[in-house]
Amino acid sequence: MTARRLRFTEPRTIEVESVPEPVPESDEVRVRTTVSAISSGTERLVYRGEAPTDLPADPALESLDGDLSFPLSYGYAAVGEVDAVGEDVDPDWLGRRAFAFEPHASAFTASPGDLQPIPDGVTDAQAALFPTVETAVNFLMDGNPRIGERVGVFGQGMIGLATAALLSDASLSELVTVDACPARRERSERIGADRSLSPGADAVARLREGDPPGRDLTYELSGAPDALDDAIAATGYDGRVVVGSWYGTKPAEVDLGRTFHRDRIAIESSQVSTIEPALRGRWSLERRRAVAWDRLAGLDLDPILTHRIPFAEAADAYELLEERPEEAVGVLLTY
């Protein structure tokens, strides 16, 4: 028997190839994939050939070995059902639904310790957005939004929308988001933003309204390096900017010569592979993931999940995300 896996073979070129069906080792299980989610930020960098090839694919995930040079398998949001177990694995794993940080493929093997059992009440489609929601949880932990603060979020793709949804429950004074696509701005307001704006000078001016002027906390999640300058400009005295975007090989030119210096603005990177150092005494990846599952079950994900595309047509899915972002936000590959 054979399985299928997705391969990025060169910039803007996707292949779905046949490979021998994986057989679990004695301490592994095999998962038959039902859906996997495309990370529209990171994976589009890989798709375009804009990911730095001198970096490991992801040192925190054993399933992503090697670097980001072509050809490569990638992806980290697979959901499926265990259909085979090794001789040393508890047979109770058979038939269980599980999430795994695995590349896009119709089947894969993994250690049970690397799987996340899917809680009752969470659908396969919802579970595929677990990394998205976990990333959003991490952004809130790093940004530490306080009651009554005015917060801005640049970028309303999958991650931006999930972050806005969590922030809408944070007892803020105001939540304003920014995105170039009208459909995404509408989705943002539907998911909990008080207002969503088109990027530019008018948006920065609107975000600086208030007393004291400027955002207390601003997130840059657009993936566009130019947006970082606007995020800094929108942030007020002693405010914080959390950069969750990964720009890949694209440089970010920012103006640090005007209000940034005198306004004592703090800029911090946020990445989901690790926990904020100040929180590590009481927080672990396991505890944060439990919070992410809890929040995932309660989120309205319809504004985020816009398309379901058969795995055999994966090339069309990436082209859709790249060429028609006004139509597509979150894309599930179905198997």
pLDDT band at 96, cuts 50/70/90?
very high
Distances from the Cα of 250 to the Cα of 31, 155, 212, 226, angstroms: 36, 17, 34, 10
- pLDDT at residue number 212: 97
- pLDDT at residue number 63: 57
State mean pLDDT over 2-11.
Answer: 97
- pLDDT at residue number 326: 87
- pLDDT at residue number 183: 95
Instruction: Give the whole-angstrom CA distance, residue 239 versus residue 222.
Output: 19
Instruction: Give the whole-angstrom CA distance, residue 38 versus residue 75.
Output: 7
- pLDDT at residue number 256: 87
- pLDDT at residue number 86: 98
Is residue 131 pLDDT above 60, yes or no?
A: yes
The phi and psi torsions of 230 (rounded to 5 degrees) equal -65, -35
- pLDDT at residue number 257: 79
State mean pLDDT over 185-199.
Answer: 97
- pLDDT at residue number 41: 87
Is residue 11 pLDDT above 90, yes or no?
A: yes
Residue of 105 and 60 predicted with greater confidence: 105
- pLDDT at residue number 59: 58
Neighbour count for residue 144 (Cβ, 10 Å): 14
Q: What is the pLDDT of residues 25-66, one digit of tens each?
A: 999 999 999 999 999 889 999 999 999 877 665 655 565 667
Q: What is the pLDDT of residues 237-293, one digit of tens each?
A: 999 999 999 998 888 888 887 788 889 999 999 999 999 999 999 999 999 999 999
State mean pLDDT over 170-179.
Answer: 98
Among 306, 304, 300, 238, smallest CA distance to 267 is for 238
**Model confidence, pTM:** 0.94
Instruction: Give the whole-angstrom CA distance, residue 141 versus residue 35.
Output: 29
Is residue 147 pLDDT above 90, yes or no?
A: yes
- pLDDT at residue number 291: 97
Percent of the chain whose predicted confidence (pLDDT) is above 90: 87
- pLDDT at residue number 315: 97
SS3 per-residue string spanning 109-120: EECHHHCEECCC
